[in-house]
Chains A and B, each alone.
Chain A
Amino acid sequence: MRRGAAFASLLDEALSGLWRARRVTVVSVFQISFSLFLVGLFLLAAENLGGVVDTLREETAVTLFLRPGADEASRAALESRALESKLVAAIRRVSPEEARGRFARSFGSLAGAAGTLSGNPFPASVELDLLPGAISSAALRPFLANLAAHPAVEEVQFDVDWIRRLRGVVRLVAAAGLATGVLLALGAAFTIANVVRLTILLHRDEIDILRLVGAPEVLIRGPFLLGGVLQGFLGGLVALGLLAVAFRGLLFFVVSTENVLLGVFVVRFLSPATCGVLVLGGVLAGLFGGTIASRRGHV
Chain B
Amino acid sequence: MIEFYGVSKEYHGRRVLKNLSFKVAQGEFVFLTGPSGAGKTTVLKLLYRAEGPGEGQILVNGRNVGAMPPGRVPELRRTMGIVFQDYKLLPSRNVFENVSFVLKFLGVPLAERRRRAYQVLRLVELHHRVNALPEELSGGEQQRVALARALVNEPELLVADEPTGNLDHRLAQEVMRLFSQINVRGTTVLVATHDVNLIRETGRRCLTLDRGGVLEGLVEAALPPQAAWRREGGIKLPPRDEDAR
Contacts and interface: CB of A to CB of B under 8 A. Distances in A.
Interface of A: 1-2, 5-6, 9, 12-13, 20, 203, 205-206, 208-217, 219
7 tightest A-B CB contacts, nearest first: A214-B77, A5-B107, A1-B107, A214-B78, A214-B74, A209-B88, A9-B104
Contact of B107 (A9, A13, A205, A211): A9
Interface of B: 48, 50, 71, 73-80, 82, 84, 88-92, 101-102, 104-107, 109, 149
A13 B149 CA distance: 18
B105 A212 contact: no
Nearest to A5: B107
Nearest to B149: A213
B74 A12 contact: no
Contacts of B91: 205-206
Given A210-B101, A214-B77, A214-B102, 17 more contacts: A1-B105, A9-B104, A13-B104, A205-B91, A206-B91, A209-B89, A209-B90, A212-B48, A212-B82, A212-B84, A212-B88, A213-B78, A213-B82, A214-B73, A214-B75, A215-B101, A217-B74
A20 B91 CA distance: 11
A206 B75 contact: no
B235 to A, nearest CB: 31
A206 B92 contact: yes
B74 A216 contact: yes
9 contacts: A2-B107, A9-B105, A203-B92, A205-B91, A209-B88, A210-B101, A213-B102, A214-B73, A216-B74
Contacts of A13: 104
Contacts of A211: 74
Contact of B105 (A2, A20, A208, A215): A215
Contact of A219 (B80, B82, B89, B105): B105
* Residue from the set A6, A209, A217 with the largest chain B CB neighbour count within 10 Å: A209
B35 to A, nearest CB: 25
A293 to B, nearest CB: 19
Nearest to A211: B74
Given A1-B106, A213-B102, A214-B102, A206 B74 contact: no
A170 to B, nearest CB: 53
Contacts of B71: 217
Contact of B74 (A5, A20, A215): A215
Contacts of A20: 92
Contacts of B50: 212
A214 B150 CA distance: 11
A209 B107 CA distance: 19
A13 to B, nearest CB: 8
Contact of B77 (A1, A203, A206, A212): A212
A271 B48 CA distance: 56
A214 B78 CA distance: 5
Contacts of A213: 77-78, 82, 88, 102, 149
